[in-house]
Amino acid sequence: MGFYILSYLCIAVFALATLYRIYRQMTMPVHVRWEIYPVQHETSAKVAYGGSYMEEIDWWEKKQEKSLLGELLYMVPEILFIRGLWKENRGLWWVSFPFHFGLYMMIATVILLLGHAGFTLWGSTVFSAGSTLRTLLDGFIAVMGWGGLILGNIGSLGLLYRRWTDAELRNYSSPVDYFNLLFILLFFLSALVSCLSGDPFLEGAKAYVMGLLTGGHPLNAHVPGRSISGIVAIVSASLLVAYIPLTHMSHMFMKYFLYHNVKWDDAPNRRGGGIEAAVRKNLNLRPTWGAKHVGADGQKTWLDIASSAPTEEKK
Amino acid sequence: MNKPLNPSDLARPSECLCHIEPGELPPLPPPYEDFNQTAIPPLKPDKIKNIEASLDDTVAIGIPKPANKQEEEELVRRFLAGLQKLFEKNNNWTFLQPLMLSMEHCAKCQTCSDACPIYEMSGKKDIHRPMFRAEVLRRIYNKYLKPGGKITAKFTGDIDLNWTTIARLAELSYRCTLCRRCATVCPIGVDNGLINHEIRKLFSQEMGIAPKEIHDKGTVQHLRVGSTTGMTPAAAKDSMEFIQEEMEEITGSKVEVPWDVEGADILLLHNAGEMLAWPENVGAFAIIFQAAGLSWTLSSEAAGYDAVNYGLWYDDVQFSRVAVRHADIARRLKVKKIVVGECGHAHKALTVIADRLLTGDLNIPRESAMVTLEEIVLKGKIKLNPSRNNFPVTLHDPCNIVRAMGIVEPQRRILRKIAPKFREMTPHGVMNYCCGGGSGFAIMSGYNFAEWRNLVSSRKKFLQILEAFKDEPREVPKYVCAPCSNCKGAIRDIIGYYSAEERSRLYYGGLVELIVNAMADMKKPMIRFGDEPSWTS
Ligand code: SF4
Ligand code: SF4
């Protein structure tokens, strides 16, 4: 039961940390525009060379053609295949891609395992032993799991090797960078050993996930006491789930905000619109910057300070 | 020698942390090989004895050394107070979200390094890696401002904080042109240019530390006198009168320069530096707008005839003050739109960054001159004879217009129409390289900074220009079209420094000069290559 408690705690930390990170982004004050082109929600003709709506005469009189689909079509392969690295740093991509894709495959495996457990609990005949659905899902789990473990092991070993041997990377790496990679390698390696030692269809993982769904009920729960590698895999996976959103490795999903909320945030401020209202709110904040020329005293607002020139800019 | 430097080395005592030896810079092709052994001229000991000058071979700010331990401690305390403020909503709502996202997610993969022209052209010196200064800031923040930071720093990356660290970091923030090429290639979307911008802000807004060319002679003078050039409204009008006369010699007819016309469609904002250094640019706009029959005006109000906004590079407060001034002038003139002339940073400042600052009737539509000019040239509003521009032309993309605004094609469509020998640089468009004069560098020349700029930060652009014209015979005059005052300044300096007019017959200028040069009813050419006119009738 201890393993389950650990897993639940880690999942709770993951959920809280992720929600907190996302909440923090959603509640940030509207910032000034700082987009960088190409902006992927532009029309495809403009995306091709990095153009913007500001290339149009009297652009403010026209409707901005914006395609969120364009963003997603760019973002999804970017996240899945790390296209940016493929283009700009191919050498590193060969190890970074298997590492990341291995992790994504593991996430997909967990989703499939949850599906498996869900169907089992449902108890319908469509998922009885030997049924097509079950055979298919078993197959997917095995392929996804093995694929993820192989890629993940190659990737984390490769990244460790690169970080250690490439002076350019080593010079900027701190102990925690190695720790993170070793931690992830520990999971991949232990899980691989576990599967290699007589569990090719990830039955242990299936049972464990089933146990997770049923609160560790003794009838369903899998106690990973049979092999050291199984214990290590479950403990390291649980801890990783909690650890990743607490570190810079959250870039796996926070990348969405870096792109969507900064690099591609080109929304113009229109009179009477939501951005204007948010900007007005910001202009009422009271800065405390200390340099003399700023003239902040903790009482004056940004509006006061920006209008502190002799003309009557204040509105 | 390339001795690896780690971010923590910034605190290390050394007379010169990062020295470039002669021959370490990437080689230039013939006929410029004689520059390959040129070193940055050493700083004069008497000039630097009281200032921080231990980062590298140059000095951008010249920060006075603290007189005693107490003063040093006070400076460290103020630095930390400023750093904290960067992460506070009331102090930094302008960039809080982008800053936090970039600070928290770097994977130290070094992909950005190879994209940075300064890193590459410095002979790959560590301190010029885009993430170097970001990592310094990150480490200081994590160690000195986060709870338990002194312990976690042992694992996450340590750094000592003393006056040397701080002063070097301030200097280092002026070794990056904020071109943001690094941000374009980062697979995660981290923007080291932005972090550098924030470092500059911390120093200016909290500690009053900034290069005098940008602050005292820049925004402060702009707000006080009306222009960073020191030009008063009366002087601006005088110089326009003189420019008008010069232009009339070219057109052979009267050139009107409308001032302060209430209700005009367009308020045209120029970088006032043009009036002094490149008067033909300002004149060419007048000729084109008049020929196209536009309703437009200039403003003779203080700051209204100078579009620059140096605040963009180092200080949000000064930035806001200048932007509000510009917008308010347009509001009172009741114009329909502001058109920003050939000044890249003014483009980005007023059109993009100030967009979320100007509210209500201060939010007057703003347009790039590239777009206005395209409408004129491509819609046939002026008569053209492109064969008059029958010389090789290449285009420099100002980062602020192209990468930061996505205005890429209008200027190209114009050039394809008026310059039969137009060719691109490689790479170009949103992947262009900075001229090396961005973020204030073009106007900074204290100590030996101008030499550093010509040898290091503008070197990539010089190589690109030479490459674009490599198939042209030496004796053929070549035109680098740079539709931005700052870029023109940097390119003028490269051409001068490397004697490229003599050696390669390189000339430079703006876009409007090329347009006027191709206008069919001009009496004289606008572009001359030294004494040689670009065409004869
Ligand atoms: S800023 Fe981006 S490209 Fe540069 S080291 Fe960090 S993650 Fe890599
Ligand atoms: S902004 Fe430009 S100059 Fe600065 S670090 Fe990035 S690439 Fe280099």
A167: domain CATH number is: 1.20.950.20
Q: Answer whether residue A254 shows pLDDT above 90.
A: yes
User: What gap in Å lies between CA B38 and CA B456, rounded to an integer?
Assistant: 11
pLDDT category, B451, cuts 50, 70, 90?
A: very high
User: What gap in Å lies between CA B301 and CA B325, rounded to an integer?
Assistant: 10
Q: Answer whether residue A61 shows pLDDT above 60.
A: yes
Point out the ligand nearest to the CA of residue A96. 1
State the distance from the centre of ligand 1 to the C-alpha of B75, rounded, in angstroms.
30
Running DSSP on this structure, what letter comes out for residue B10? Answer: G
Looking at every residue in chain B, the average pLDDT score rounds to 97
Q: Which of B317, B361, B372 would best serve as a mutation to test chain A binding (most A beta carbons within 10 A)?
A: B317
Q: Give the residue-averaged pLDDT of A77-81.
A: 90
Q: What is the pLDDT of residues B406-441, one digit of tens each?
A: 999 999 999 999 999 999 999 999 999 999 999 999
Q: Answer whether residue A70 shows pLDDT above 90.
A: no
Is residue A313 less than 8 Å (CB to CB) from chain B?
A: yes
- pLDDT, residue A308, reads 76
Q: Answer whether residue B473 shows pLDDT above 90.
A: yes
**A206 exposure class (CB count in 10 Å sphere: 0-12, 13-18, 19+):** buried
| Spatial CA neighbour of B47 closest among B33, B64, B35 | B64
- pLDDT, residue A313, reads 33
Sign of the C-alpha dihedral, residues B43, B47, B50, B52?
negative
Confirm or reject: Cβ of B156 under 6 Å from ligand 1.
no
Percent of chain B with pLDDT strictly greater than 90 = 99
- Domain membership of residue A76 (yes or no) is yes
C-alpha A151, offset from chain centre: 18
One-letter amino acid identity for A89? N
Q: Give the residue-averaged pLDDT of B500-512.
A: 98
Whole-model pTM: value is 0.96
CA atoms within 13 A on the CB side of B283: 26
State the distance from the centre of ligand 2 to the C-alpha of B353, rounded, in angstroms.
19
H-run or E-run covering B193? helix B192-201
Tell me how far CA of residue B248 lies from CA of B244, B255, B268, B378, B382, in angstroms.
Answer: 6, 6, 20, 25, 17
Q: Answer whether residue A77 shows pLDDT above 70.
A: yes
- pLDDT, residue A224, reads 56
User: What gap in Å lies between CA B85 and CA B82, rounded to an integer?
Assistant: 5
ipTM (interface pTM)? 0.95
DSSP SS3 for A308: coil
State the distance from the centre of ligand 1 to the C-alpha of B188, rounded, in angstroms.
7
Q: What domain range includes position A213?
A: 2-33+67-263
Residues from chain B that touch A49, judged by Cβ atoms under 8 A, are 408-409, 429-430
Using DSSP bridges, classify how beta strands B366-368 and B393-395 pair: parallel, antiparallel or unpaired.
unpaired
- pLDDT, residue A66, reads 83
A124-133, B353-362, B484-493: the lowest-pLDDT one? A124-133
Q: Give the residue-averaged pLDDT of B21-32.
A: 95
Q: Residue written as tokens 């990539």? A: B460
Q: Answer whether residue A123 shows pLDDT above 90.
A: no
Using DSSP bridges, classify how beta strands B528-529 and B532-533 pair: parallel, antiparallel or unpaired.
antiparallel
Q: Give the residue-averaged pLDDT of A205-225.
A: 74
Task: Return the number of CB contacts < 8 Å for A and B.
Answer: 278
pLDDT category, B362, cuts 50, 70, 90?
A: very high
Q: Give the residue-averaged pLDDT of A299-314.
A: 72
Count how many domains chain A has.
1
pLDDT category, A315, cuts 50, 70, 90?
A: very low
Q: Give the residue-averaged pLDDT of B88-106.
A: 98
- pLDDT, residue B205, reads 97
Tokens linked to B312? 């963009």
Confirm or reject: Cβ of B112 under 6 Å from ligand 1.
yes
- Name the β-bridge partners of B479: B393, B507
Is the CB of B374 less than 8 angstroms away from the CB of A57? yes
| Spatial CA neighbour of B88 closest among A49, A285, A99, A273 | A285
Residues in chain A: 315
DSSP SS3 for B393: strand
Q: Which of B6, B108, B371 would best serve as a mutation to test chain A binding (most A beta carbons within 10 A)?
A: B108
Is residue A79 less than 8 Å (CB to CB) from chain B?
A: no
H-run or E-run covering B81? helix B69-86
Tell me how far CA of residue B284 lies from CA of B275, B291, B494, in angstroms.
Answer: 11, 10, 24
| Spatial CA neighbour of A192 closest among A225, A239, A157, A140 | A157
State the distance from the centre of ligand 2 to the C-alpha of B502, rounded, in angstroms.
31
Q: Residue written as tokens 């680098």? A: B480
Confirm or reject: Cβ of B234 under 6 Å from ligand 1.
no
C-alpha B364, offset from chain centre: 24
Q: Give the residue-averaged pLDDT of B55-80.
A: 96
Closest Cα in chain A, distance from residue B130 (Å): 12
Q: What is the pLDDT of residues B178-205, one digit of tens each?
A: 999 999 999 999 999 999 999 999 999 9
Percent of chain A with pLDDT strictly greater than 70 = 94
- Domain membership of residue A136 (yes or no) is yes
User: What gap in Å lies between CA B296 and CA A40, rounded to an integer?
Assistant: 35
- pLDDT, residue A129, reads 87
User: What gap in Å lies between CA B368 and CA B339, rounded to an integer?
Assistant: 6
- pLDDT, residue A221, reads 52
Secondary structure percentages of chain B, helix, strand, coil, to 5: 50, 5, 40
User: Could you state, in order of their start, the residue ranges of all structural domains in chain B?
Assistant: 7-207, 216-374, 383-533
Q: Answer whether residue B320 shows pLDDT above 70.
A: yes
Q: Give the residue-averaged pLDDT of B273-300.
A: 97
- pLDDT, residue A71, reads 87
User: What gap in Å lies between CA B294 and CA A33, rounded to an integer?
Assistant: 30
Residue among B102, B183, B321 whose CB faces A306 most closely:
B321
Q: Answer whether residue A314 shows pLDDT above 50.
A: no
Q: Answer whether residue B344 shows pLDDT above 80.
A: yes
Is the CB of A174 less than 8 angstroms away from the CB of B207? no
Give the number of other Cβ atoms within 10 Å of residue B129's Cβ: 26
Q: Answer whether residue A220 shows pLDDT above 80.
A: no
- pLDDT, residue A68, reads 83
| Spatial CA neighbour of B434 closest among B502, B374, B391, B494 | B494
- Domain membership of residue A132 (yes or no) is yes
Q: What is the pLDDT of residues A150-197, one digit of tens each?
A: 999 999 999 999 999 999 999 999 999 999 999 999 999 999 999 999
- pLDDT, residue A222, reads 55
User: What gap in Å lies between CA A33 and CA B15, rounded to an integer?
Assistant: 40
Q: Which CATH number fits domain B216-374: 2.60.120, 3.40.50, 2.40.50, 2.40.30?
A: 3.40.50
Q: Give the residue-averaged pLDDT of B14-39.
A: 95
- Domain membership of residue A258 (yes or no) is yes
